Structure 1
Amino acid sequence: MTLPDTLSNTTRLWVYQANKPFPADAVPEIRSNLQAFARQWVSHNRQLKADADVLHDRFVILMVDESQADASGCSIDSSVHFLKKLQAEYGVDLFDRMYFSYQDGDAVHTVSREEFARRYAEGQINDHTLVFDTLVESKAAFDAGWLKPLSESWHARLV
């Protein structure tokens, strides 16, 4: 999976992971609202070159190509405010970093850190299990390794 080619590889990126999937029938509306937010997102009264998407019904991706204008503290605060409204509306938590997501075939699972460690200890997941790296910070890093084997990710030190 890759991000839009309209943004440079140095585009700054934030991944917000929901602790559970958004309702599938709500994803088109969520995507539309995210993209509307990205189109009006500003920093110090300067329009940001931004985009947003929802992936796998649980990952909110915000992107800003800072070659035009940098995302500032105020603009980042506005995105957090928007995301907090989104999480309240859909009953998910987008800010708890102690949930991990992994892929099993075509299915994506999101579990607590403790459950993730238990599944690893019991052999339900292993070093080859593909995990989602929510700490990627650029479009290039996302494209190169958002989904990677557990043994190659920061998750490995937590199991």
Structure 2
Amino acid sequence: MFVEFNSLSEEAKVWVYPSSRKFYPQEIDELKEKLNSFVEAWKQDDAGFKASFELKYNRFIIFSAEEDAQLTNADIDQQVAFILQLQQEYEVELLDKMNVCFKQGEFIQYKDVKEFKTLLKKKSVSAKTIVFDNLVQTKGELENYWEVPITESWYNRFL
């Protein structure tokens, strides 16, 4: 069952899918409808299932489900199949979690790790640059550790 994202507990499981580009304004409403429909139908047979989504910065698709949801491999496969479908429809990359997403001024950049290391060497990004840790596991981690300076993330090994 779809619930408001804010109503989920801090322990709720999250999955972050960074897009290789920002979704265009004309795509947002349709994308949100598709995300809502997916969450509504996901585990529809489980009356106690609570899940939600957020579209952050028009760039990150974030799903969340209460920790006690008893998700099976088939449930996760269903989510990944949906994401693959979105990739094809919108011509974006959503499953490559090894690319680096970071803030550069008011913009969010999406670079492969090699290019990110080059930017660090050229001092185009610094230890204070805000990066997105798309490997966070819970809603609490999302709220507290998703957007952090490089020094507070696993990317600090590149400094």
The two structures have a TM-score, normalised by structure 1, of: 0.90
The structure in which a higher percent of residues are strand is 1
Structure 1 window deviating more from structure 2 (45-54 vs 131-140): it is 45-54
Instruction: Tell me what 1:92 maps to.
Output: 92
Give SS of 2:61's match.
strand
Q: 5 Å matches for 1:9-158? A: 9-42=10-43, 45-47=45-47, 48-67=49-68, 69-158=69-158
Which 5+ residue runs of structure 1 have no aligned equivalent? none
Asked if 1:4 is matched to 2:5, the reply is yes
Give the secondary structure class of the aligned counterpart of 2:7.
coil
Query: 1:127–1:149: 8 Å Cα contact kept in structure 2?
Result: yes
Contact 2:5 2:53 in 1 (8 A): no
List gaps (5 residues or longer) in structure 2: none
Across the aligned residues of Structure 1 and Structure 2, the Cα RMSD in angstroms comes to 1.6
1:22: how far off? 2.1
Q: Report if the CA contact (8 A) 1:35-1:53 is conserved.
A: no
Deviation at 1:4, TM superposition (A): 2.9
8 A Cα contact 2:5 2:54, kept in partner: no
Kindly provide the CA deviation profile for residues 82-114 of structure 1, in whole angstroms up to 9, marking residues without a partner as x: 110000000111111231111122211111111
- Return the offset for 1:54: 1.5
Q: Percent identity?
A: 29
Deviation at 1:5, TM superposition (A): 2.3
Residue-pair matches, total? 155
For 1:58 and 1:129, locate their aligned partners in 2 and report how far apart those are by CA, in whole Å: 18
Once the two structures are superposed, residues 95-135 of structure 1 have per-residue CA deviations (whole angstroms, 9 ceiling, x without a partner) of 11231111122211111111111111101101000000101
Superposition TM-score, scaled by structure 2 size: 0.90
Deviation at 1:38, TM superposition (A): 0.8
Deviates more, 1:103-112 or 1:147-156: 103-112
